[in-house]
C-alpha cells in the first residue's frame, strides 16, 4: 500500500479517535439493557418513593414510573426511553414517541448503546433498541425548586460512543444542575440517505431533538427546569450542537449551547474534525453502503436494507459519518447558516484544546510512518492534496530533525480545530453572548495506555476527565488539576444557570477574550496562542 493511500485511510479514524481513547476507560463489562419490572404502584398522584435518606428513587413520568439509584448527594436514572425502538419498519424512520410501560421500570443501570463497532463499547453493540437517556440529579432537586439542565451529546465521529460513558455526578453535585446524557442513532443507522426516504441523512440529529423534546416535557419530574436547558457536546457531539443551532426544527428546544472541540465551520476536506455534506453526497455514500450490504440492485433497496442484520451493516459502513444538509431538518451547512445569521440566537460557550491534533499524529507515527524532514512533504500532500497546499504547509510548519510529530499535530490541530473555532467565534460573537476557552493543561492525564512517541500535551478529548468520570472511573489528577476541574465545572454550570460563566469563586472570564485553562494559570487573552497559524489558514482557504 502506498504512503498516500495508507495515510488517507488512517484519516478515516476522524473523530472516532475519541472512541479509541475511550477503550482506556471501558474496562467494565458492557451494560445490560434495563427492563421494566412489574409492580402494584400504578395509581395516579405522586410517585411512591423508596426511602434512602429521605430521597425519592421512584419518579413518575408521562410514560410510566421509573426506579433509579440513590447515591451520596445525588440520584441517577439510567436507560429511560425517550423514543420508540427504531426497529423493523422504524429503522430509518424519524423517531416515534416512546411506548408507555406498566408498573415501575428499572432505571438502575444503563441500557444498550446504539449499534457501533468495538471500541468504546467492548465487543460492539448491535441492539437497535437504544434510544434512551440517563438523568443525574442532585438529591434536593424537586419540581418545586428546579435546577438548570445540561443535555450532553457524546462524541465519537457520529459512529461510536454512549451517553452512559459520562458519569456526571460531580457536575450535578458541585454545579447543582441536572445532567442528561443521550444515546442517539449512529453510523449508517443514524445517517443513511436515500431518495424518497423522509429524514434522509439526519436520523441521529432527529433523535437528539426527540430527546430535547422529552426534556422539555418530562425533566421537571426529576427536579430539572424545562425552561432552562443547555445543549452541550464534545467533538461530534459539539458539532451536533452546531447542527441543532442551524436546524429550524430545534427552535425552542434549548436556551444555551456549549461546543467543545466541534467547531461549526468543519469541512469534509479537513477530515479529522466533524462536518456535514450535501444530501447528494450522502446519497452517493449510502448507495455504496447498499451495494456492500448486498442491496444495491434490489427492487426495493430500503426494504432490502431493513432486512440486513446489524453486524453486516456495521461492516459495510464508513468509519466516520456526516449528517446531510439540504434537508428539511438541516436546510444549510451549519457553517453557511451561521455565517448568514440563520441560527438560534442563544448564548454560546465554545472552545478547543491546545494540542488537538497530537493524538492523531502520534497514532500515525505509531502505525509506522515517521514524520521527518524527508517524509514531511509526502505526509502533508496525503492530507492536503490540492495544488500548492502541501508546499505552503511545509514552509509554514517546517520539520526539523526531532520535532516531526508535534509539527504534524500542530497542523492537524490548527487546520481542523483551533482556527475553525476562531472562525466560529468570529461568526457568532457579533450576534450572541459568547465565551471562548482553550484547554491548555500540557500535563493532562493520558486517555490511552502506553507511551506515545512524543508528549501529547492537551490533545483531543483530554478536557473530558475534568468534567466527567469517564466510564465511572475517578480521575487520576493532581491537586492542582483537581482545582482546575472544579473551576471548569463552576464555569460550565454557571453558564448553564445564568448564561454567564463568571462568579466570585473563579478568575474573571471577559467576553471577547480567550480563556486559557491550565492548572498553573487561568488567563484571559485577546488572541489565541501564537502557535496557532490562523492567518496562514485563512489565506490558504
Residues taking part in catalysis:
235, 356, 460
> How far is Cα 528 from Cα 532, in angstroms, rounded to an integer?
7
CB-CB contact of 125 with 115 (8 Å)? yes
Q: Look up residue 160 and give its DSSP letter.
A: S
SS3 381: helix
Residues in contact with 462: Cβ distance below 8 Å, sequence separation at least 6, in sequence order: 353, 439, 441, 444, 445, 447, 456
> How far is Cα 80 from Cα 133, in angstroms, rounded to an integer?
5
Please report which helix (H) or strand (E) contains residue 514, including its range: strand 514-518
Query: The C-alpha cell of 120 is what?
Result: 468504546
CB-CB contact of 187 with 293 (8 Å)? no
Long-range contacts of 36-42 (CB under 8 A, 24+ apart): 36/64, 36/101, 36/102, 36/103, 36/104, 36/105, 36/106, 37/67, 37/103, 37/104, 37/105, 37/106, 38/102, 38/103, 38/104, 39/65, 39/103, 39/104, 40/103, 41/65, 41/103, 41/104, 42/102, 42/103
> How far is Cα 435 from Cα 500, in angstroms, rounded to an integer?
8
- CA-nearest of 12, 7, 17 to 385 is 7
CB count in 10 Å sphere of residue 218: 21
Which residues make beta-bridge pairs with 153?
182, 233
Q: Look up residue 415 and give its DSSP letter.
A: I
First to last CA, the chain: 30
Burial 376-404 (b: 16+ CB within 10 A, else e): beebbbbbbeeeebbeebbebbebeeebb
Amino acid at each position: 500500500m502506498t504512503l498516500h493511500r495508507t495515510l488517507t485511510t488512517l484519516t478515516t479514524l476522524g473523530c472516532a479517535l475519541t472512541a479509541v481513547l475511550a477503550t482506556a476507560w471501558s474496562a467494565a463489562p458492557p451494560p445490560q439493557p434495563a427492563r421494566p419490572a412489574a409492580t402494584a404502584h400504578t395509581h395516579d398522584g405522586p410517585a411512591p418513593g423508596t426511602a434512602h435518606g429521605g430521597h425519592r428513587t421512584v419518579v413518575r413520568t408521562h410514560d410510566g414510573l421509573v426506579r433509579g439509584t440513590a447515591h451520596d448527594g445525588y440520584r441517577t436514572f439510567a436507560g429511560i426511553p425517550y423514543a420508540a425502538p427504531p426497529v423493523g419498519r422504524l429503522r430509518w424512520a424519524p423517531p416515534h414517541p416512546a411506548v408507555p410501560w406498566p408498573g415501575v421500570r428499572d432505571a438502575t443501570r444503563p441500557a444498550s448503546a446504539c449499534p457501533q463497532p468495538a471500541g468504546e463499547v467492548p465487543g460492539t453493540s448491535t441492539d437497535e433498541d437504544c434510544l434512551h437517556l440517563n438523568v443525574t440529579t442532585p438529591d434536593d432537586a424537586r419540581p418545586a425548586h428546579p435546577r438548570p439542565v445540561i443535555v450532553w451529546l457524546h462524541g465519537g465521529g457520529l459512529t461510536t460512543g454512549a451517553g452512559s460513558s459520562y458519569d456526571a455526578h460531580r457536575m450535578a453535585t458541585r454545579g447543582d444542575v441536572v445532567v442528561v446524557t443521550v444515546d442517539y442513532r449512529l453510523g449508517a443507522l443514524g445517517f443513511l440517505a436515500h431518495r424518497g426516504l423522509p429524514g434522509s441523512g439526519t436520523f441521529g440529529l432527529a433523535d437528539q431533538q426527540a430527546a430535547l423534546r422529552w426534556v422539555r416535557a418530562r425533566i421537571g419530574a426529576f427536579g430539572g427546569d424545562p425552561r432552562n436547558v443547555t445543549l452541550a457536546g464534545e467533538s461530534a457531539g459539539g458539532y451536533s450542537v452546531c447542527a441543532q443551532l442551524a436546524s429550524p426544527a430545534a427552535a425552542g428546544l434549548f436556551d444555551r449551547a456549549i461546543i467543545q472541540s466541534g467547531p461549526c465551520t468543519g469541512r469534509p476536506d479537513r477530515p479529522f474534525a466533524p462536518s456535514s455534506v450535501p444530501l447528494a453526497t450522502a446519497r452517493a455514500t449510502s448507495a455504496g453502503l447498499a451495494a456492500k450490504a448486498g442491496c444495491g440492485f434490489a427492487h426495493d433497496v430500503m426494504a432490502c436494507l431493513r432486512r440486513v442484520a446489524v453486524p453486516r451493516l456495521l461492516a459495510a459502513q464508513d468509519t466516520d459519518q456526516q449528517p446531510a444538509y439540504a434537508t428539511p431538518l438541516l436546510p444549510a451547512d451549519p457553517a453557511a447558516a451561521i455565517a448568514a445569521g440563520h441560527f438560534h440566537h442563544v448564548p454560546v460557550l465554545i472552545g478547543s484544546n491546545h494540542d488537538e491534533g497530537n493524538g492523531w499524529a502520534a497514532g500515525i507515527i505509531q502505525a509506522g510512518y515517521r514524520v521527518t524532514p524527508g517524509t514531511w512533504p509526502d505526509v502533508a500532500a496525503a492530507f492536503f492534496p490540492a495544488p500548492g497546499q502541501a508546499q505552503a504547509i511545509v514552509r509554514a510548519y517546517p520539520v526539523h530533525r526531532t520535532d516531526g510529530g508535534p509539527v504534524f499535530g500542530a497542523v492537524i490541530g490548527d487546520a481542523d480545530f483551533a482556527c475553525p473555532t476562531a472562525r466560529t467565534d468570529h461568526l457568532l460573537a457579533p450576534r450572541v453572548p459568547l465565551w471562548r476557552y482553550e484547554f491548555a493543561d500540557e500535563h493532562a492525564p493520558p486517555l490511552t495506555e502506553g507511551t506515545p512517541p512524543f508528549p501529547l500535551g492537551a490533545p483531543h478529548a483530554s478536557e473530558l476527565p475534568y468534567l466527567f468520570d469517564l466510564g465511572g472511573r475517578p480521575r487520576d489528577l493532581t491537586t492542582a488539576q483537581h482545582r482546575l476541574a472544579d473551576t471548569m465545572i463552576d464555569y460550565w454550570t454557571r453558564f448553564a444557570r445564568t448564561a454567564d460563566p463568571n462568579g466570585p469563586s473563579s478568575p474573571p472570564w471577559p467576553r471577547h477574550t480567550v480563556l486559557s485553562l491550565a492548572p498553573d494559570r487561568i488567563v484571559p487573552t485577546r488572541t489565541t496562542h501564537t502557535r496557532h497559524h490562523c492567518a496562514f489558514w485563512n489565506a490558504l482557504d
